[in-house]
Structure 1
Amino acid sequence: MRDDPEVTHIEGDPPLAVHWRRSARARRMSLKVSRLDGQITLTLPRRASLRAGMAFLKERHDWLHEVARGLEPPSMVAPGTRLPVEGRLLTVTPAPVRSARIDDDRLLVPEARPAAGAMAFLKHLARDRLASRVSAHARGIDRSPGKLTLRDTRSRWGSCTAAGDLMFNWRLVMAPPSILDYVAAHEVAHLVHMDHSAAFWSLCEHLFPDTARARAWLKAEGAHLHRFRFASG
Protein backbone atom coordinates (compact mmCIF):
# COMPACT_ATOMS: atom_id res chain seq x y z
CA MET A 1 0.00 0.00 0.00
CA ARG A 2 1.30 3.44 -0.95
CA ASP A 3 1.94 6.01 1.76
CA ASP A 4 -1.00 8.32 2.39
CA PRO A 5 -0.57 11.95 1.37
CA GLU A 6 -0.26 14.33 4.32
CA VAL A 7 -2.72 16.72 2.68
CA THR A 8 -5.09 16.38 -0.27
CA HIS A 9 -6.43 19.49 -2.00
CA ILE A 10 -10.03 19.42 -3.22
CA GLU A 11 -11.02 21.77 -6.03
CA GLY A 12 -13.90 24.15 -5.43
CA ASP A 13 -14.76 27.66 -4.27
CA PRO A 14 -12.83 27.87 -2.07
CA PRO A 15 -10.41 24.97 -2.57
CA LEU A 16 -10.14 22.80 0.54
CA ALA A 17 -7.16 21.07 2.17
CA VAL A 18 -7.88 17.68 3.75
CA HIS A 19 -5.40 16.29 6.29
CA TRP A 20 -4.99 12.49 6.35
CA ARG A 21 -4.75 10.50 9.57
CA ARG A 22 -4.46 6.77 10.28
CA SER A 23 -5.93 5.32 13.48
CA ALA A 24 -5.66 1.79 14.81
CA ARG A 25 -8.85 2.42 16.81
CA ALA A 26 -10.96 3.63 13.87
CA ARG A 27 -13.46 1.07 12.57
CA ARG A 28 -14.61 3.17 9.62
CA MET A 29 -13.53 6.22 7.66
CA SER A 30 -14.66 9.60 8.97
CA LEU A 31 -14.36 13.29 8.16
CA LYS A 32 -14.14 16.02 10.79
CA VAL A 33 -14.25 19.76 10.20
CA SER A 34 -12.90 21.71 13.18
CA ARG A 35 -15.07 24.62 14.31
CA LEU A 36 -11.97 26.23 15.79
CA ASP A 37 -9.82 26.66 12.69
CA GLY A 38 -11.71 24.98 9.86
CA GLN A 39 -9.16 22.16 9.50
CA ILE A 40 -10.56 19.11 7.71
CA THR A 41 -9.26 15.72 8.86
CA LEU A 42 -9.87 12.41 7.12
CA THR A 43 -9.40 9.49 9.52
CA LEU A 44 -8.93 5.99 8.13
CA PRO A 45 -8.68 2.57 9.76
CA ARG A 46 -5.19 1.12 9.65
CA ARG A 47 -5.94 -1.28 6.78
CA ALA A 48 -8.11 0.99 4.61
CA SER A 49 -6.66 1.57 1.14
CA LEU A 50 -5.62 4.89 -0.33
CA ARG A 51 -8.09 4.32 -3.18
CA ALA A 52 -10.94 3.85 -0.69
CA GLY A 53 -9.97 7.04 1.09
CA MET A 54 -9.98 9.04 -2.14
CA ALA A 55 -13.37 7.58 -3.09
CA PHE A 56 -14.72 8.51 0.35
CA LEU A 57 -13.59 12.11 -0.18
CA LYS A 58 -15.15 12.24 -3.64
CA GLU A 59 -18.50 11.04 -2.31
CA ARG A 60 -18.50 13.81 0.31
CA HIS A 61 -17.23 16.61 -1.93
CA ASP A 62 -20.46 18.65 -1.86
CA TRP A 63 -21.00 18.11 1.87
CA LEU A 64 -17.49 19.33 2.69
CA HIS A 65 -17.94 22.55 0.74
CA GLU A 66 -21.32 23.18 2.33
CA VAL A 67 -19.87 22.79 5.83
CA ALA A 68 -16.80 24.92 5.02
CA ARG A 69 -18.94 27.78 3.74
CA GLY A 70 -20.80 27.84 7.05
CA LEU A 71 -17.68 28.25 9.20
CA GLU A 72 -16.69 31.59 10.66
CA PRO A 73 -13.40 32.66 9.01
CA PRO A 74 -10.31 33.36 11.14
CA SER A 75 -9.68 36.97 12.14
CA MET A 76 -6.10 38.25 12.08
CA VAL A 77 -5.56 40.65 14.97
CA ALA A 78 -4.36 43.99 13.60
CA PRO A 79 -4.96 47.71 14.12
CA GLY A 80 -8.70 48.28 14.15
CA THR A 81 -9.66 44.74 15.18
CA ARG A 82 -12.52 44.59 17.67
CA LEU A 83 -11.07 42.18 20.21
CA PRO A 84 -13.07 40.71 23.12
CA VAL A 85 -11.44 41.35 26.50
CA GLU A 86 -13.40 40.07 29.52
CA GLY A 87 -16.53 40.15 27.42
CA ARG A 88 -16.03 43.72 26.14
CA LEU A 89 -15.12 44.53 22.54
CA LEU A 90 -12.06 46.78 22.50
CA THR A 91 -10.52 48.31 19.40
CA VAL A 92 -6.87 47.37 18.92
CA THR A 93 -5.14 50.76 18.64
CA PRO A 94 -1.38 51.27 18.07
CA ALA A 95 0.02 53.92 20.41
CA PRO A 96 3.40 55.10 21.78
CA VAL A 97 3.24 52.65 24.72
CA ARG A 98 5.74 50.01 25.88
CA SER A 99 3.07 47.49 26.81
CA ALA A 100 -0.62 47.20 26.06
CA ARG A 101 -3.25 48.78 28.29
CA ILE A 102 -6.97 49.53 28.20
CA ASP A 103 -8.08 53.10 27.53
CA ASP A 104 -11.88 53.37 27.59
CA ASP A 105 -13.06 51.26 24.62
CA ARG A 106 -9.59 50.89 23.12
CA LEU A 107 -6.77 48.44 23.70
CA LEU A 108 -3.64 50.52 23.26
CA VAL A 109 -0.80 48.37 21.92
CA PRO A 110 2.86 49.05 20.99
CA GLU A 111 3.07 50.49 17.48
CA ALA A 112 5.86 48.15 16.37
CA ARG A 113 4.06 44.92 17.36
CA PRO A 114 0.31 45.43 17.76
CA ALA A 115 -0.77 41.76 17.56
CA ALA A 116 2.04 40.44 19.76
CA GLY A 117 1.37 43.23 22.25
CA ALA A 118 -2.32 42.39 22.39
CA MET A 119 -1.60 38.69 22.97
CA ALA A 120 0.94 39.45 25.72
CA PHE A 121 -1.63 41.66 27.42
CA LEU A 122 -4.29 38.93 27.30
CA LYS A 123 -1.94 36.29 28.70
CA HIS A 124 -0.85 38.54 31.57
CA LEU A 125 -4.47 39.43 32.38
CA ALA A 126 -5.53 35.79 32.15
CA ARG A 127 -2.86 34.68 34.62
CA ASP A 128 -3.84 37.43 37.06
CA ARG A 129 -7.57 36.68 36.88
CA LEU A 130 -7.19 32.89 36.99
CA ALA A 131 -4.72 32.95 39.89
CA SER A 132 -7.15 35.08 41.86
CA ARG A 133 -10.21 32.91 41.21
CA VAL A 134 -8.35 29.62 41.71
CA SER A 135 -7.07 30.88 45.05
CA ALA A 136 -10.55 31.95 46.15
CA HIS A 137 -12.21 28.67 45.18
CA ALA A 138 -9.41 26.56 46.70
CA ARG A 139 -9.73 28.39 50.03
CA GLY A 140 -13.43 27.57 49.99
CA ILE A 141 -12.73 23.83 50.04
CA ASP A 142 -9.49 23.94 52.05
CA ARG A 143 -7.29 22.74 49.21
CA SER A 144 -3.87 23.93 47.98
CA PRO A 145 -3.54 23.92 44.19
CA GLY A 146 -0.21 23.23 42.52
CA LYS A 147 1.40 25.05 39.63
CA LEU A 148 -0.76 27.14 37.31
CA THR A 149 0.14 27.16 33.61
CA LEU A 150 -1.42 28.78 30.54
CA ARG A 151 -1.68 27.26 27.07
CA ASP A 152 -3.60 27.76 23.86
CA THR A 153 -5.31 24.37 23.78
CA ARG A 154 -8.06 23.50 21.32
CA SER A 155 -9.63 20.50 22.99
CA ARG A 156 -10.19 21.79 26.52
CA TRP A 157 -10.43 25.00 28.54
CA GLY A 158 -8.61 23.63 31.56
CA SER A 159 -7.22 20.54 33.22
CA CYS A 160 -6.04 19.29 36.61
CA THR A 161 -3.33 16.70 37.21
CA ALA A 162 -3.21 14.16 40.01
CA ALA A 163 -0.52 16.32 41.62
CA GLY A 164 -2.91 19.29 41.70
CA ASP A 165 -1.29 21.29 38.89
CA LEU A 166 -3.80 23.33 36.92
CA MET A 167 -3.71 24.28 33.24
CA PHE A 168 -5.97 26.85 31.59
CA ASN A 169 -6.47 28.22 28.12
CA TRP A 170 -5.48 31.90 28.27
CA ARG A 171 -8.24 32.76 25.79
CA LEU A 172 -10.72 32.41 28.67
CA VAL A 173 -9.91 36.02 29.55
CA MET A 174 -11.61 37.06 26.31
CA ALA A 175 -14.91 35.64 27.61
CA PRO A 176 -17.14 37.36 30.20
CA PRO A 177 -15.55 37.14 33.69
CA SER A 178 -18.16 34.67 34.92
CA ILE A 179 -17.07 32.13 32.29
CA LEU A 180 -13.45 32.28 33.43
CA ASP A 181 -14.64 31.99 37.02
CA TYR A 182 -16.62 28.85 36.17
CA VAL A 183 -13.64 27.12 34.53
CA ALA A 184 -11.47 28.02 37.54
CA ALA A 185 -14.09 26.49 39.87
CA HIS A 186 -14.39 23.42 37.63
CA GLU A 187 -10.68 22.65 37.79
CA VAL A 188 -10.45 23.39 41.51
CA ALA A 189 -13.28 20.90 42.06
CA HIS A 190 -11.02 18.30 40.46
CA LEU A 191 -8.65 18.74 43.39
CA VAL A 192 -11.25 16.74 45.31
CA HIS A 193 -12.83 14.59 42.59
CA MET A 194 -10.66 13.52 39.66
CA ASP A 195 -13.67 12.54 37.58
CA HIS A 196 -17.01 13.93 36.42
CA SER A 197 -19.15 12.04 38.90
CA ALA A 198 -22.31 13.37 40.50
CA ALA A 199 -20.21 14.33 43.54
CA PHE A 200 -17.90 16.36 41.31
CA TRP A 201 -20.74 18.30 39.70
CA SER A 202 -22.30 18.91 43.09
CA LEU A 203 -19.05 20.46 44.33
CA CYS A 204 -18.62 22.43 41.12
CA GLU A 205 -22.10 23.93 41.52
CA HIS A 206 -21.34 24.67 45.16
CA LEU A 207 -18.30 26.68 44.08
CA PHE A 208 -20.02 28.22 41.06
CA PRO A 209 -23.84 28.02 41.24
CA ASP A 210 -24.37 29.16 37.64
CA THR A 211 -22.49 26.17 36.22
CA ALA A 212 -25.19 25.14 33.73
CA ARG A 213 -25.35 28.58 32.11
CA ALA A 214 -21.55 28.87 31.87
CA ARG A 215 -21.26 25.43 30.27
CA ALA A 216 -23.95 26.40 27.74
CA TRP A 217 -22.07 29.63 26.92
CA LEU A 218 -18.83 27.76 26.26
CA LYS A 219 -20.59 25.25 24.04
CA ALA A 220 -22.29 27.98 22.00
CA GLU A 221 -19.66 30.73 22.00
CA GLY A 222 -16.34 29.16 22.96
CA ALA A 223 -15.23 28.42 19.40
CA HIS A 224 -15.54 32.13 18.59
CA LEU A 225 -12.62 32.88 20.92
CA HIS A 226 -10.35 30.65 18.85
CA ARG A 227 -10.94 32.48 15.57
CA PHE A 228 -8.58 35.33 16.53
CA ARG A 229 -5.03 34.88 15.20
CA PHE A 230 -2.12 36.73 16.75
CA ALA A 231 0.63 36.82 14.11
CA SER A 232 3.80 38.49 15.42
CA GLY A 233 4.89 41.85 14.14
Structure 2
Amino acid sequence: MLFRRQDRKPPTPRAAEWIELMLDDETLRVAVRRHPQARRLTLRVRAAARDVTLTAPPHVPLAFAHDFVQRHREWVRLRLVRLPQQVPFEPGSVIPLHGTPHRIVHCPGARGTAWTAVNAEGEPVLCVAGEAPHMPRRVQDHLKREARRALAAAVRHYAAALKVDVGRITLRDTASRWGSCSAQGDLSFSWRLVMAPPVVLDYLAAHEVAHRLEMNHGPRFWRLVEQVCPARREAEAWLRRHGSDLHRYGAE
Protein backbone atom coordinates (compact mmCIF):
# COMPACT_ATOMS: atom_id res chain seq x y z
CA MET A 1 0.00 0.00 0.00
CA LEU A 2 1.29 3.43 -0.90
CA PHE A 3 0.96 6.30 1.53
CA ARG A 4 0.84 9.78 0.11
CA ARG A 5 2.58 12.36 2.22
CA GLN A 6 0.30 15.14 3.35
CA ASP A 7 1.72 18.63 3.44
CA ARG A 8 1.60 20.18 6.88
CA LYS A 9 -0.73 23.08 7.31
CA PRO A 10 0.87 26.27 8.59
CA PRO A 11 0.12 26.86 12.27
CA THR A 12 -2.92 28.98 12.97
CA PRO A 13 -1.87 32.44 14.16
CA ARG A 14 -2.54 32.92 17.85
CA ALA A 15 -5.11 35.58 18.63
CA ALA A 16 -3.88 38.70 20.41
CA GLU A 17 -3.70 38.15 24.15
CA TRP A 18 -4.12 40.74 26.87
CA ILE A 19 -4.09 40.77 30.64
CA GLU A 20 -5.99 43.46 32.51
CA LEU A 21 -4.25 44.95 35.54
CA MET A 22 -5.92 47.34 37.96
CA LEU A 23 -3.62 50.22 38.96
CA ASP A 24 -4.87 53.14 41.06
CA ASP A 25 -8.50 52.67 39.98
CA GLU A 26 -7.52 52.46 36.31
CA THR A 27 -7.36 49.39 34.09
CA LEU A 28 -4.06 48.79 32.33
CA ARG A 29 -3.91 46.35 29.42
CA VAL A 30 -0.72 44.28 29.41
CA ALA A 31 0.08 42.83 25.99
CA VAL A 32 1.19 39.17 26.01
CA ARG A 33 3.83 38.40 23.40
CA ARG A 34 4.55 34.71 22.75
CA HIS A 35 8.14 33.99 21.76
CA PRO A 36 9.30 30.50 20.73
CA GLN A 37 12.74 31.02 22.32
CA ALA A 38 11.47 32.42 25.62
CA ARG A 39 12.21 30.21 28.62
CA ARG A 40 10.47 32.25 31.30
CA LEU A 41 7.99 35.07 31.82
CA THR A 42 9.44 38.56 31.45
CA LEU A 43 7.65 41.82 32.25
CA ARG A 44 8.81 45.00 30.57
CA VAL A 45 7.75 48.62 30.92
CA ARG A 46 8.68 50.38 27.68
CA ALA A 47 9.62 54.02 28.21
CA ALA A 48 9.14 54.99 24.55
CA ALA A 49 5.64 53.50 24.17
CA ARG A 50 4.78 53.99 27.85
CA ASP A 51 3.16 50.57 27.95
CA VAL A 52 3.68 47.19 29.59
CA THR A 53 4.37 43.91 27.81
CA LEU A 54 4.79 40.35 29.00
CA THR A 55 6.98 38.00 26.99
CA ALA A 56 6.00 34.36 27.51
CA PRO A 57 6.93 30.93 26.13
CA PRO A 58 4.29 29.53 23.74
CA HIS A 59 3.25 26.72 26.12
CA VAL A 60 2.56 28.83 29.23
CA PRO A 61 -1.19 29.01 29.97
CA LEU A 62 -2.70 32.48 29.93
CA ALA A 63 -4.08 31.93 33.44
CA PHE A 64 -0.55 31.34 34.75
CA ALA A 65 0.66 34.49 32.97
CA HIS A 66 -2.26 36.39 34.49
CA ASP A 67 -1.27 35.35 38.02
CA PHE A 68 2.35 36.33 37.32
CA VAL A 69 1.33 39.84 36.26
CA GLN A 70 -0.94 40.27 39.29
CA ARG A 71 1.90 39.30 41.64
CA HIS A 72 4.08 42.00 40.09
CA ARG A 73 1.45 44.76 40.22
CA GLU A 74 3.51 46.98 42.53
CA TRP A 75 6.64 46.54 40.39
CA VAL A 76 4.71 47.70 37.33
CA ARG A 77 3.19 50.66 39.17
CA LEU A 78 6.58 51.89 40.41
CA ARG A 79 8.14 51.60 36.97
CA LEU A 80 5.31 53.59 35.40
CA VAL A 81 5.51 56.27 38.08
CA ARG A 82 9.23 56.67 37.43
CA LEU A 83 8.80 57.28 33.72
CA PRO A 84 9.80 60.82 32.68
CA GLN A 85 6.93 63.28 32.48
CA GLN A 86 5.54 63.69 28.99
CA VAL A 87 6.05 67.05 27.28
CA PRO A 88 3.47 68.06 24.67
CA PHE A 89 4.28 70.38 21.79
CA GLU A 90 2.36 73.35 23.16
CA PRO A 91 3.14 76.96 24.20
CA GLY A 92 5.44 77.12 27.20
CA SER A 93 6.86 73.61 26.82
CA VAL A 94 10.63 73.32 26.72
CA ILE A 95 12.04 70.87 24.19
CA PRO A 96 15.64 70.14 23.17
CA LEU A 97 16.84 70.99 19.68
CA HIS A 98 20.37 69.84 18.86
CA GLY A 99 20.77 69.34 22.59
CA THR A 100 19.83 72.92 23.52
CA PRO A 101 16.55 73.57 25.40
CA HIS A 102 14.10 75.73 23.43
CA ARG A 103 10.86 77.13 24.82
CA ILE A 104 7.88 76.89 22.44
CA VAL A 105 6.31 80.29 21.78
CA HIS A 106 3.05 80.77 19.90
CA CYS A 107 3.14 83.62 17.37
CA PRO A 108 -0.39 83.56 15.90
CA GLY A 109 -0.03 86.79 13.91
CA ALA A 110 3.30 85.92 12.32
CA ARG A 111 3.83 84.55 8.85
CA GLY A 112 5.56 81.26 8.19
CA THR A 113 5.49 77.97 10.08
CA ALA A 114 8.19 77.56 12.74
CA TRP A 115 11.64 79.05 13.34
CA THR A 116 14.20 79.43 16.11
CA ALA A 117 15.07 82.73 17.75
CA VAL A 118 16.32 84.25 21.01
CA ASN A 119 13.92 86.16 23.27
CA ALA A 120 14.62 89.36 25.21
CA GLU A 121 16.07 87.35 28.11
CA GLY A 122 18.53 85.59 25.83
CA GLU A 123 16.60 82.30 26.01
CA PRO A 124 16.47 80.13 22.86
CA VAL A 125 12.88 79.79 21.67
CA LEU A 126 11.02 77.94 18.95
CA CYS A 127 8.45 80.28 17.45
CA VAL A 128 5.37 78.71 15.87
CA ALA A 129 2.94 80.65 13.65
CA GLY A 130 -0.65 79.81 12.81
CA GLU A 131 -3.62 78.67 14.84
CA ALA A 132 -3.16 76.90 18.17
CA PRO A 133 -4.68 73.53 17.14
CA HIS A 134 -1.98 73.18 14.44
CA MET A 135 0.95 73.82 16.77
CA PRO A 136 1.86 70.17 17.60
CA ARG A 137 2.01 69.25 13.92
CA ARG A 138 4.00 72.36 13.01
CA VAL A 139 6.53 71.75 15.77
CA GLN A 140 6.98 68.13 14.72
CA ASP A 141 7.26 69.10 11.04
CA HIS A 142 9.97 71.61 11.94
CA LEU A 143 11.90 69.02 13.93
CA LYS A 144 11.68 66.55 11.05
CA ARG A 145 12.95 69.13 8.57
CA GLU A 146 15.88 69.92 10.86
CA ALA A 147 16.57 66.22 11.35
CA ARG A 148 16.60 65.56 7.61
CA ARG A 149 18.91 68.51 6.95
CA ALA A 150 21.37 67.53 9.70
CA LEU A 151 21.32 63.82 8.89
CA ALA A 152 21.73 64.38 5.15
CA ALA A 153 24.79 66.56 5.78
CA ALA A 154 26.32 64.04 8.21
CA VAL A 155 25.65 61.11 5.88
CA ARG A 156 27.28 62.94 2.95
CA HIS A 157 30.32 63.65 5.12
CA TYR A 158 30.81 60.05 6.25
CA ALA A 159 29.99 58.57 2.86
CA ALA A 160 32.79 60.66 1.40
CA ALA A 161 35.15 59.74 4.24
CA LEU A 162 34.52 56.01 3.76
CA LYS A 163 34.24 56.27 -0.04
CA VAL A 164 30.85 54.58 -0.26
CA ASP A 165 27.52 55.31 -1.93
CA VAL A 166 24.28 55.48 0.01
CA GLY A 167 20.67 55.35 -1.07
CA ARG A 168 17.60 57.08 0.26
CA ILE A 169 17.37 58.58 3.73
CA THR A 170 14.09 57.87 5.51
CA LEU A 171 12.90 59.34 8.80
CA ARG A 172 10.80 57.27 11.18
CA ASP A 173 9.62 57.36 14.79
CA THR A 174 10.93 54.01 15.97
CA ALA A 175 10.91 53.00 19.63
CA SER A 176 13.76 50.49 19.64
CA ARG A 177 16.20 51.47 16.87
CA TRP A 178 17.83 54.82 16.20
CA GLY A 179 18.97 53.88 12.72
CA SER A 180 19.31 51.12 10.17
CA CYS A 181 20.96 50.38 6.83
CA SER A 182 19.44 48.09 4.20
CA ALA A 183 21.40 45.77 1.93
CA GLN A 184 20.64 48.20 -0.91
CA GLY A 185 22.22 51.10 0.99
CA ASP A 186 19.04 52.89 2.05
CA LEU A 187 19.36 54.49 5.48
CA SER A 188 16.64 55.02 8.05
CA PHE A 189 16.85 57.17 11.18
CA SER A 190 14.64 58.30 14.03
CA TRP A 191 13.76 61.96 13.54
CA ARG A 192 14.06 62.35 17.33
CA LEU A 193 17.84 62.35 16.97
CA VAL A 194 17.56 66.05 16.13
CA MET A 195 16.75 66.66 19.80
CA ALA A 196 19.97 64.99 20.99
CA PRO A 197 23.36 66.74 21.14
CA PRO A 198 25.00 66.99 17.69
CA VAL A 199 27.63 64.39 18.60
CA VAL A 200 24.88 61.77 18.97
CA LEU A 201 23.26 62.41 15.59
CA ASP A 202 26.73 62.57 14.06
CA TYR A 203 27.65 59.17 15.51
CA LEU A 204 24.46 57.50 14.32
CA ALA A 205 25.12 58.76 10.79
CA ALA A 206 28.67 57.36 10.91
CA HIS A 207 27.37 54.08 12.32
CA GLU A 208 24.87 53.46 9.54
CA VAL A 209 27.16 54.63 6.74
CA ALA A 210 29.85 52.22 8.01
CA HIS A 211 27.38 49.39 7.41
CA ARG A 212 27.86 50.00 3.69
CA LEU A 213 31.22 48.31 4.14
CA GLU A 214 30.44 45.92 6.99
CA MET A 215 26.86 44.66 7.43
CA ASN A 216 27.64 43.41 10.93
CA HIS A 217 28.96 44.61 14.28
CA GLY A 218 32.31 42.84 14.16
CA PRO A 219 35.72 44.28 15.07
CA ARG A 220 36.34 45.65 11.57
CA PHE A 221 33.02 47.51 11.65
CA TRP A 222 33.83 49.22 14.96
CA ARG A 223 37.30 50.15 13.73
CA LEU A 224 35.70 51.87 10.73
CA VAL A 225 33.26 53.78 12.96
CA GLU A 226 35.95 54.95 15.37
CA GLN A 227 38.23 55.87 12.47
CA VAL A 228 35.76 58.48 11.24
CA CYS A 229 33.91 59.21 14.50
CA PRO A 230 36.24 59.24 17.53
CA ALA A 231 33.35 60.39 19.77
CA ARG A 232 31.58 57.05 19.39
CA ARG A 233 31.73 56.07 23.07
CA GLU A 234 30.64 59.51 24.25
CA ALA A 235 27.59 59.32 21.99
CA GLU A 236 26.74 55.76 23.06
CA ALA A 237 27.00 56.73 26.74
CA TRP A 238 24.58 59.64 26.15
CA LEU A 239 22.09 57.36 24.42
CA ARG A 240 22.21 54.84 27.26
CA ARG A 241 21.53 57.55 29.84
CA HIS A 242 19.12 59.82 27.98
CA GLY A 243 17.95 58.12 24.80
CA SER A 244 14.61 56.96 26.14
CA ASP A 245 13.82 60.51 27.31
CA LEU A 246 13.59 61.68 23.70
CA HIS A 247 10.36 59.73 23.31
CA ARG A 248 8.55 61.75 25.95
CA TYR A 249 8.39 64.85 23.76
CA GLY A 250 5.37 65.47 21.58
CA ALA A 251 2.78 63.61 23.67
CA GLU A 252 -0.78 64.68 23.07
Q: TM-score, normalised by structure 2?
A: 0.86
Matching residue of 2:151: 130
Return the alpha-carbon distance in structure 2 between the equivalents of residues 79 and 4 of structure 1. Answer: 39
Paired residue type of 2:74: D
Structure 1 residue 98 and structure 2 residue 95: aligned? no
Q: Partner of 1:62 in structure 2?
A: 74
- Does the aligned pair in 2 maintain the 1:97–1:108 contact within 8 Å? no
Counterpart for residue 203 of structure 2: 182
The Cα shift of 1:15 comes to 5.3
**Which secondary structure state, in structure 2, belongs to the residue aligned with residue 139 of structure 1?**
helix
Match of 1:86 in 2: 98
Q: C-alpha offsets along residues 14-41 of structure 1, whole Å, 9 cap, x if unaligned? A: 6543222222332222111112232100
1:110 aligns with 2:122: no
Structure 1: distance between partners of 2:136 and 2:111: 14
Aligned residue number for residue 11 of structure 2: none
Between stretches 210-219 and 102-111, larger displacement belongs to 102-111
Question: What does residue 233 of structure 2 align with?
Answer: 212
Is contact 1:119-1:230 (8 Å) kept?
no
1:35 pairs with 2:27: no
Q: Which residue of 2 aligns with 1:192?
A: 213
Over the matched positions of the two proteins, sequence identity in percent amounts to 37
Given that 1:23 and 1:44 are in contact with CA atoms closer than 8 Å, whether structure 2 keeps it comes out as yes
Task: Specify whether residues 209 and 3 from structure 1 end up closer, same or farther in structure 2 by C-alpha distance, changes over 3 A only.
Answer: closer
Distance in 1 (alpha carbons) for counterparts of 2:19 and 2:64: 16
The amino acid that maps onto 2:40 is R
Q: Distance in 2 between matches of 1:154 and 1:3?
A: 24
Any gaps of 5 or more consecutive residues in structure 1? none
Write out per-residue CA displacement over residues 141-160 of structure 1, whole angstroms, 9 at most, x where no aligned residue.
Answer: 11111111110111111101
* Alignment partners' CA distance in 2, 1:136 and 1:70: 39
Q: 1:136 to 1:47 in 2, by over 3 A?
A: same
Alignment pair present for 1:72 and 2:84: yes
Q: 2: CA distance between counterparts of 1:87 and 1:4?
A: 39
Partner of 1:20: 32
In structure 2, relative to structure 1, the CA distance for the partners of 1:35 and 1:109 (3 Å cut) is same
Which residue does the alignment assign to 1:44?
56
Specify the code of the residue in structure 1 equivalent to 2:169.
L
The aligned counterpart of 1:156 is: 177
Compute the RMSD of aligned alpha carbons: 1.8
> How far has the Cα of 1:4 moved from its partner?
6.4
- Aligned residue for 1:41, secondary structure, equals strand
1:75 counterpart SS class? coil
Kindly name which structure, 1 or 2, has the bigger radius of gyration based on alpha carbons.
2
* Paired residue total: 230
Contact 1:116 1:230 in 2 (8 A): no
Deviations 1:143-192 (A, max 9, x none): 11111111011111110111111101111011111111110011111111
Distance 1:184 1:198 in 2: 18
- State the alpha-carbon separation in 2 of the partners of residues 230 and 127 from structure 1: 21
Unaligned runs of 5+ in 2: 1-13, 119-123
| AA partner of residue 99 (structure 1) | T
